[in-house]
Chain A
């Protein structure tokens, strides 16, 4: 039974008690898996980024008040009460963290990857962001400022990456397919 961690056995014991009581069902758990595997994920944030690249008016509204700007997308799954989109430019690179827990814009990016929630990233990205980004394969030039957004309240942050060169002939859907989760957290560029 070594592949079952103590946490797994404990969680399953708790689940069996609470299912017996009718507090939740196995189908509820299946639904969480389905929603966050199929419907809520980085593809949502990627649509926002691609629209900002092709629609200058939307980009302006997104950077001024992202919460209102994304309303028409009607994203589900995880309340984002206030969204702020921060824009990468030739002079500024942005990267997002939550050092106190693991706050993350679920509705736009889905559930966070394990590395985002682990102590190494949470402890180091505020103190030595350039060194951490190099571990992700991203070397930020010395002259470029690195801004770390530590999500300490209910405001959620999304990075608007720079549009890659040579993509002028791509439409919005093709552009969205280029946008990675890592680029929207700010640990990668496109």
Chain B
């Protein structure tokens, strides 16, 4: 989806701010959110990591930028708990008010009115053996899809419609675009694709720069007719 999470190449965020001696968790609630997310995945309340990531992508965009990493996770997990019928938002609000919280604070969670139903599965991980051979080969020029996707996808907007070169074949993997929505695993071959900086950023590109992305077969089209600019 064209959400706030798709940050590659966005401008205006300023310098990277680092914290000396940063602890693993700053506050205990961050460790709670981390533990909750892992428990939800283990218990298949959240069925797969694609559903998990998409829930975070769907949170309030202002909260995405201002609530921090574990605030984003909190918004995503709360979204899934409500969508799966495991949490009553009114019960949470009552508990929040009892603990001195305000009903006026921005809430990150954005549960859908008609959420996707992601069926439970015993499948582990995302690697899958494929019986079909890869469509593309190492060294082959490829062009990425230029079409925006409203749901979950792992083709960043900055690399849409761009020309690259396959540098590695990474094996068969569950397709996040369908798996996140409970529409099946539809595993595909995954390719590492190299994009020259000039192809992504034009004349503003820094010299001697390349970006590598791992992209699913359905994101790619053969591009032998087009020359890859060095």
Contact call A101/B35, Cβ cutoff below 8 A: no
Most buried by A among B5, B14, B31: B31
State whether B95 touches A17 (Cβ < 8 A).
Answer: yes
- Which of A13, A115, A120, A153 touches B99 (beta carbons < 8 Å)? A13
Q: Does B85 contact A (CB under 8 A)?
A: no
Contacting residue for A152 out of B70, B155, B168, CB 8 A: B155
A8 CB–B CB distance under 8 Å: yes
B24 touches A154 (CB 8 A): no
A150 touches B212 (CB 8 A): yes
Number of B residues contacting the other chain (C-beta, 8 Å)? Answer: 82
Residues of B contacting A115 with CB < 8 Å? Answer: 16-19
Within 8 A of B (CB), among A73-111: 79, 81-82, 84, 97, 99-102, 110-111
B28 / chain A contacts, CB cutoff of 8 Å? 29, 33
Q: A123-B7, A153-B173 are in contact. Are A6 and B74 (CB under 8 A)?
A: no
- B29, B100, B200, most chain A CB atoms within 10 A: B29
What is the interface of chain A, defined by CB distance below 8 A to chain B? 1, 5-18, 23-24, 28-29, 31-33, 36-37, 41, 79, 81-82, 84, 97, 99-102, 110-111, 113-115, 117-124, 126-132, 135-136, 142-155
Residues of B within 8 A of A (CB): 5-11, 13-19, 22-25, 27-36, 38-39, 43, 53, 56, 65, 67-71, 74, 78, 87, 91-92, 95-96, 98-102, 105-108, 125-127, 154-156, 158, 168, 170-171, 173, 176, 190, 192, 200-201, 206-216
